[in-house]
Amino acid sequence: MTDRAPNSPGRPTVTRRDALGGLLAAVPMEAVAHPMRGWHAVAEDVRAQMRWAWHAYAERCFGQDQIKPVSGAGEAFFFPKGRPLGLSIVEALDTLYLMGLDDELQSGVRWVCDTLDFDIDGEVQVFETSIRLVGGLLSGWCATREKKLLALARDLTDRLSPAFDKSPSGMPYRFVNLKTGAVRDPVSFPAEIGTYLPEWGTLSRAVGERRYYDLPKRAVTALFERRSKIDLVADTINIETGAWQSRRASIGPPCDSYFEYLWDGWQLFGDRDLKEWYDVHARAIAKHQAVQVDGRLWFPQVDFETGAILDHHQSELAAFYAGLLGQGGDMARGESYLKSWADVQARFQVLPEGFDCLRFAPDRVTNALRPEFADSCLNLFLLRPDDRWREYARVHFEAMKATSRAPFGFSGIADITTRPMKQDDSCPGYWWSEQMKYYWLLFSDTPRFDYQINYLSTEGNVLLGSK
Ligand code: DMJ
């Protein structure tokens, strides 16, 4: 049974903003006041890095999905041989707004409104398209109230919907053709099945159509119902037959944001089913996956039916779970888990993509400019403002500047164990939406953000709390 709080789909709770032109003149930085000048100096540096990277992107390849920050060329994310969708612009919109980079925001909004058109005979991955583009357009709309952004988000969501509509179980197919609605690939993963409700529910509220909430709710219901007797899910499932294709349970990818969006759906929409399901999984994870190694908290992969440990690999992406633990009420484990990752950061300067917690050594030496550590710093800070989280994030930011800054932006690292670290010439779209925003919100005390009532999606998109 669903028991929704007053802020259920259909009732907008975000404050109405003025039209874009009006808000662009707003809030000079001098209006920001805080006794800790030191943190504000870090914030200014964050903003300066963002502005510099934006102009490099704008001059070299504006409208391309991504910039290659070492060589300065553009790079496709969605259609290698087809039309770019300006992914980096869409991801950056609300970050630019929160930072008061208003000229840059205006040029981004103009490009999106004049150029983006999703009537493309090409196939996209439903999950990535939803968290990045639908979420980016919606958070841009929340920040600016530019109606075209909402219209584009709705059009794109309609084009993704066949992935849900055509599924016998309600769990989405992984790929859909934006023009024809043809779907492909029924073998999917919890994160790709359960990471839609905050974006689609926000759309549902904004346009007053229930269907955008019901489709992802049905998907997540079908997944939760297939949990094991010990309340864990495995990491691969056939969405047509409902049969599990693996026995491996993990808090990292490809499961991570399934757990995150159970909590988030409760937080945003007051949907009690989702809170209950979050709690069921959180209890099972604490019981079967949490281990102490040399005094540090980690979460190895386990068999989803027996709880037997399968491996001690820790994905860097799982660092998001520290913040989620705090949000879900387990602040002690959240703090402890973030401390584990802070120890890795202190030892290796930059977090590796993968880490063996038994050996306390990287088992994947790349780093794709990952934001999850900073994400947890922000989430814990929002729950309990404490300079500890700011200091962890400041170290993360300084390490990024020292190792990832390239001629035309910030780059992922090919091997974090070499000195100097070798850059990989890629800047994922999420960099514009995630860590730069997390740093900014941690250090700036910006009046453009409601530090009490807010919501950031798995991609860092602010769907509630832009002021
Ligand atoms: C982002 O796209 C999102 O945070 C997603 O949930 C997981 N991976 C990347 C960042 O690492």
All structural domains of the chain, each given as residue ranges with its CATH number in brackets, are 16-464 (1.50.10.10)
- Residue 317 CB less than 6 A away from ligand 1: yes
Q: What phi and psi, each to the nearest 5 degrees, are found at residue 350? A: -120, 135
Q: Which of 351, 372, 373 gets mutated to test ligand 1 (max ligand atoms within 8 A of its CB)?
A: 372
Cα dihedral sign, 165-171-173-175: positive
* Closest protein CA for atom 1 of ligand 1: 459
Q: What is the structure's pLDDT at 33?
A: 40
Say what the pTM is. 0.92
Q: Which of 264, 459, 462 gets mutated to test ligand 1 (max ligand atoms within 8 A of its CB)?
A: 459
What pLDDT, in 10s, does the model give residues 374-416? 999 999 999 999 999 999 999 999 999 999 999 999 999 999 9
Distance 91 CA to ligand 1 centre (A): 12
Count CB atoms within 10 A of the CB of residue 224: 21
- Residues whose CB is less than 8 angstroms from the CB of residue 369 and which lie 6 or more positions away in sequence, other chains included: 400, 404, 410, 411, 412, 413, 426, 427, 428, 430, 431, 435
Q: What is the structure's pLDDT at 82?
A: 84
Between CA 331 and CA 326 the distance in angstroms is 4
- What stretches in the chain show pLDDT beneath 50? 1-35
Q: What is the structure's pLDDT at 85?
A: 98
Nearest in space to 76 (alpha carbons), one of 136, 140, 124, 111: 124
- Residues whose CB is less than 8 angstroms from the CB of residue 340 and which lie 6 or more positions away in sequence, other chains included: 296, 297, 298, 357
- Residue 458 CB less than 6 A away from ligand 1: yes
Q: Which residue has 């164990």 as its token pair?
A: 417
Q: What is the structure's pLDDT at 89?
A: 99
Q: Which residue has 């870090």 as its token pair?
A: 42
Q: Are 436 and 88 in contact (CB under 8 A)?
A: no
Distance 256 CA to ligand 1 centre (A): 9
Q: Give the number of the atom of ligand 1 that is nearest the alpha carbon of residue 317.
A: 11
Quick one: tokens of 176?
């859909």
Q: What is the structure's pLDDT at 37?
A: 65
Quick one: tokens of 366?
């790349």
Distance 458 CA to ligand 1 centre (A): 7
What pLDDT, in 10s, does the model give residues 105-154? 999 999 999 999 999 999 999 999 999 999 999 999 999 999 999 999 99
φ/ψ region of 298 (left if φ > 0, alpha if ψ in -120 to 50, else beta) reads beta
Between CA 357 and CA 459 the distance in angstroms is 26
Q: What phi and psi, each to the nearest 5 degrees, are found at residue 123? A: -100, 135
Distance 59 CA to ligand 1 centre (A): 27
Count CB atoms within 10 A of the CB of residue 11: 12
